[in-house]
Amino acid sequence: MVSYADPGPVEAVGPVEWVESGGGPLIAVPEVVLPFWTGADGDELASDYDRACEVDGFAGLLPVGNTAALVLGDDPAATAYLPEHRTFVRWFAGDSESELLARVPAALDTAAWGSEVHWRVPGPVVLFDAAWPGEESTNAGRLRIALEPGRYAVRAAHAEPGPETWIGLVQLTPLGE
């Protein structure tokens, strides 16, 4: 896991943990089904990683075990989860972490959101490189996100909240049962 903490006004909330990919998509897999995610391994014609690479756009769902995982597609950008915004933030371009994080609220307000999908989450999820098998996701390069069980609306957007700041946003909004 990478931390890009740098001095600045956002530092007061603590360092933000970023997950990076080796070149493919990142995936958020519910902890209860981590053993079912085989990543790029497997004897099948299309691996789980291949399935994740086929997801179009910024975000999509893939079946894993008896639930679904959230694929963060389109770009292998460093990604963090900001619980105060219930949002995965993807760092496409920006001079510093503090500048990028300071622009997130404006980006959330002005983003042109794509279509929404609904994701049923059985509890905490683990964000990691989709190429890794789920059982190996406990190694460095992963982030555990303590989501409450339930249904979430998931929407995604690309935003340019500053002249040199480009970010991806994948926001989770709890839905009533």
Q: What are the two backbone dihedrals, phi and then psi, of residue 110, each rounded to the nearest 5 degrees? A: -110, 0
**Exposure on the CB side of residue 83, measured as CA atoms within 13 A:** 13
> In the structure, what pLDDT confidence band is assigned to residue 97 with cuts at 50, 70 and 90?
very high
pTM listed for this prediction: 0.87
Average pLDDT, the chain: 86
Amino acid identity, residue 22? G
Q: What is the CA radius of gyration of the chain?
A: 16
How far apart CA 122 and CA 143 sit, in angstroms, is 17
> In the structure, what pLDDT confidence band is assigned to residue 136 with cuts at 50, 70 and 90?
confident
How far apart CA 28 and CA 32 sit, in angstroms, is 12
> pLDDT digits over 15-46, tens only?
899 999 888 899 999 999 999 999 987 666 77
Close Cβ partners of 44 (under 8 Å, ≥ 6 residues apart): none
The predicted pLDDT at position 42 comes to: 66
The predicted pLDDT at position 4 comes to: 40
